[in-house]
Amino acid sequence: MQLDYRLLIDSDGSGRFERLCTLLAEVEQQGSLRRATERLQLSYRYAWGLIRKAEERIGAPLLISKVGGASGGGAELTTAAQDLLRRHRTLQKEVAAILGPGSGPEAGPDARPLLMASTIGPVEAGLVDALVTAYRAATGVWIRYVAAGTGQALAVARSGRADLVLVHAPALEEAFIAEGYGTERYPLAANRFLICGPASDPAGVAGAQSAAAALRRIAAAQAPFVSRGDQSGTHVKEMQLWVKAGVEPGGDWYEVWPLGGQGNAATLRHTAAVGAYTLIDSATFATVNPDGYAVLYEGDPLLANLFCLIPVNPERFPQANHAGADRFVAWATGPEGRALVAEFGVAAHGMPLFAAPATGAQKA
């Protein structure tokens, strides 16, 4: 059967096709999707979803699972995936030959796409795709991004593999800057954290006077609670709230979900399925909206959730595209970017999923 790989090429500037090819090439090298995602600093859920969507588009499998063996199993490329990679590599060589010197992987920062490591939430909600697509249309500049929890996104930047990050854990961000890896925090968007749980609310969270009091009620009732446990921005906020509550969570009622690194959407679906409480952001709740599950506490100022852009420090990473990162920050936090953020979600959900900063390119 002749496959039409053109169905995989994205025309919106999101870079999904390039990420798919990079992922397949890494699976080919590692012999495992799990190891490939670790090497590329991608969430396993995002990588698997990327492959599944591609398989659905072309109507053919791209990976074959291997079970057992000394390495405990893994994955290998199908004939279709091998053919796709061969064609992609050929195309890359042809493009480099057409464009001339300075267009390949060795090109300087201004000759390649801007590289961003982003926390998972805005990627899952679609905000990051909307921003990079609009920026591409306005400027002609491509932005490629990887999705990972805030802790992982900052680790990608620390390794010199990103020009800027989009994250939402102020304490981790300030440490990142203090250690000389980033320049400044620029607010891009905000929403709020919510304490959610079964609509029946067995711990009586809805009557709490503060977020800390709500968590104390959960702990006192030993009601099931699910934590991402992955040093993401959501997990960092959760742990801050337990400290505020004067509670050290643990025991049978407190589950650190092993797949929390897959993001808030996966965590929320799991939590709703097992009938537990959790901390989640408002955009994720609006997009997932699980049956029988409810927002039980919100409104505490401690539940504010601010997403910031941070360019990497050019003194630490001379190879970084610092000028390009600054230009994107100015656009994203300027009038065009703020308008996009403020309206994002209205068409699909009847309400904005994020709030935009009041003024452009202001340091947090």
Which CATH architecture does the domain made up of 5-102 adopt? Orthogonal Bundle (1.10)
Backbone torsions φ then ψ of 24, nearest 5 degrees: -65, -40
pTM for the model stands at: 0.70
What is the token pair recorded at 93?
A: 């060589």
**Whether the domain at 5-102 and the domain at 191-304 fall into the same CATH topology:** no
User: What ranges do the domains of the chain cover?
Assistant: 5-102, 114-190+306-349, 191-304
Q: How confident is the model at residue 18 (pLDDT cuts 50, 70, 90)?
A: confident
**Which tens digits make up the pLDDT trace of 95-108?**
445 434 443 444 45
**Which tens digits make up the pLDDT trace of 247-303?**
999 999 999 998 888 899 999 999 999 999 999 999 999 999 999 999 999 999 999
**Which tens digits make up the pLDDT trace of 34-59?**
999 998 888 888 899 999 989 988 88
Topology of the domain covering 114-190+306-349: D-Maltodextrin-Binding Protein; domain 2 (3.40.190)
**Separation CA 6–CA 9 (nearest Å):** 5
**Separation CA 331–CA 340 (nearest Å):** 11
Which listed CATH number (3.40.190.10, 3.10.105.10, 3.40.50.10420, 3.20.20.140) goes with 191-304? 3.40.190.10
- In this model, does residue 159 exceed pLDDT 50? yes
Q: Is 119:283 a contact under the CB 8 Å cutoff? A: no
Give per-residue burial for 130-160: e unless 16+ CB within 10 Å, then b: bbbbbbbeeeebbbbbbbbbbbbbbbbbbee
